Amino acid sequence: MVLESKSKEHALEVLAKADIDQSVIDSIEETHRQIEDALEEERQLYLDLANSQPTGVYRLRVLNTKRFNEDKWRSLTDVPYKVEFANTRFCEILNLDLEKFQKNPAIINDLIFETDKESFIQKNIESDRDLTPFIWEGRLIVRNQIIWGHFESTLRLLPNGDVIWTGVCFDITKRKKEQQEIQEKNRELQLVNAEKDKFFSIIAHDLKSPFNAIVGFSKLLIDEIKLKNSEAVEHYAEIVLDSSNTALDLLTNLMDWARSQTGRLIYKPVELDMCELIKKTVHVYSNIANVKGIDIKINIDSKLPVCVDKSMIFTVLRNLISNAIKFTHPQGKIIIRAEQLAHHLKVIVSDTGVGISSDVIDKLFRIDEKYTTEGTQDEQGTGLGLILCKDFVEKHDGQIWVESAVGLGSNFIFTLKNKTC
C-alpha cells in the first residue's frame, strides 16, 4: 500500500507539471479511488470466502534466496518461507495465532509429532527441490493432544525464482481413528478365522481316530465272532464302545459349541439348586467311575440356589467330571465342592489324577492350541470340552481356571456371578 501511495503521488505530480486541467486530475483521482474501493471489496469478499471454508487454507512464499538450504527446513526460528495467508479454519485446526505465525512461520515445525517430524521435513525439501505437489499426512501435538493432519499444496514458480505454495489442511483425526478401528477389527477377524480354521482341522483329526478304531476293531470283532473267541470278542467290543463314546462326546461338544458360536444356543437362565444339578451329573457318570473304582464325593452341606442356564452349566459339569474320571487312576478319588461367596458361587472339581504341567495349563482353554492326552486307562480326550466350558462360564459372567501339578492331581475351578432370575 505504501508503494501504491507513492505511485499515485508521483502520477499527480507529473499531471500537475504537464499543466493538465484540474477537472481531469479530479476525474482521474475519483477513478483511482473507485478502483481501490473495488479492489478492497474484492479482497474482503475473498477473505470472507476463505474464512468460511471448513478446510484450512494457506499460502506460503518460499524465497528464492533460501530455497535450497535444507537446514532452514529443520529450523525452529528461520524457515525458508513466509506466510502470506492462512484462513480462520487453518488457525483453528493448529491452534495458531495468525500474527505470531506470520512473524515466525517456523513454529509449525514444533507442532509436528517427534517421530513424524523427519518425514514432514523431507517431504517439504523434496517438493521444493523437484517442484512437485506437496502431500503429507502425519501427527501433530495441538492443545496437548495428538491429532492427525493432512496437508496438500500446489505451486506457482514466479519469475524472480520465488515459489508460491497454495494449499489446504484437514483435521483427519476422526477418519484415522475409524481406519485404525477397522484395521483392528480386521486383524481380530483374521485371528478368529485362523483360530477356527486350526480348530476345525484339530476336530477333523480327533474325529478320524475313534472312527478308524470303530471300523478297524469292528472288522476284527466279526472275525473273532466267526471263530467263537468270546474273550477276544469282549475285548474288541469294549474298544469299540470306548471309541464310540469318545466320538459321541466330541460330536456332542462340537454341536454345542457350534450352536453357541452361531447364536443358536440361547442363554435361558432359570432358578435351580446347584447341589441337585451336581448330583444329577455325577449320577450320569457313576457307572464309568465304578468301573475304574473311583470314589466321587460331593462335599456340599446345603442347597445352593443359582440363576443359570441349566443346559450350559450341565455341559460344564459333565466335561469337568468326565475329565476328572478320565485322568484319575483306578481306586482314586474325585471331590466336588461348592460355596456361596459374597458376589459369586464357586465350584471346585478336584481329582487325584495325573496332574498337568505348568507349561500346558495356559493351552487348555485356547481354541488355537491342540492339547489332549490319554487317560489313565488310555481314554481319549476330545480337546474341545474345556474350550466349551470356558465359553459357557463366561456367558454367565464367570471365570474358569485350573490349579495343578504333575502327579498331584488337579483342581478345576469355576465361578458364577450371583444373579436373580
Query: Radius of gyration (Cα) for the chain, nearest Å?
Result: 41
Cα torsion angle, 379, 380, 383, 387, sign: negative
Sorted by sequence, the CB contacts under 8 Å of residue 323 that are 6+ apart come out as 381, 385, 386, 412
Q: Is the pTM of this model over 0.85?
A: no
pLDDT of residue 149: 97
CA distance 165 to 58: 8
Question: SS3 letters for 246-261?
Answer: HHHHHHHHHHHHHHHH
Tell me the CA distances in angstroms from 70 to 56, 133, 156, 175, 277, one per residue in order. Answer: 26, 18, 20, 32, 78
Q: Left (φ > 0), alpha (ψ -120 to 50) or beta: where does 383 sit?
A: left
Sorted by sequence, the CB contacts under 8 Å of residue 138 that are 6+ apart come out as 112, 113, 116, 119, 120, 148, 149
Cα torsion angle, 344, 315, 409, 406, sign: negative
Helix (H, G, I), strand (E, B) or coil at 328: coil
For residue 61, the number of C-alpha atoms closer than 13 Å in the C-beta half-sphere is: 12
Q: Left (φ > 0), alpha (ψ -120 to 50) or beta: where does 139 sit?
A: beta
CA distance 79 to 106: 5
pLDDT tens digits for the chain (421 residues)? 444 555 556 655 655 555 556 676 677 777 777 777 677 777 777 776 777 778 999 999 999 988 888 889 998 888 999 999 999 999 999 999 999 999 999 999 999 999 999 999 999 999 999 999 999 999 999 999 999 999 999 999 999 999 999 999 999 999 999 999 999 999 988 877 876 776 666 566 556 667 777 788 788 888 888 888 888 888 888 778 777 776 777 677 677 767 776 666 778 899 999 999 999 989 878 877 887 899 999 998 788 999 999 988 988 998 899 889 988 999 999 999 998 888 899 999 999 988 888 888 877 877 666 555 545 545 445 457 788 889 889 999 999 999 998 888 999 999 998 877 7
- Residue 152's CB: how many other CB atoms inside 10 A? 15
pLDDT of residue 97: 94
CA distance 387 to 375: 18
CA 138 to chain centre: 21
Beta-sheet pairing, 295-299 with 333-340: parallel
Phi, psi dihedral angles at 87 (to 5 degrees)? -80, 175
Q: Which three cell numbers stand for residue 228?
A: 467263537
For residue 40, the number of C-alpha atoms closer than 13 Å in the C-beta half-sphere is: 7
pLDDT of residue 3: 44
CA distance 176 to 149: 10
Phi, psi dihedral angles at 160 (to 5 degrees)? -85, 5
CA distance 43 to 279: 89
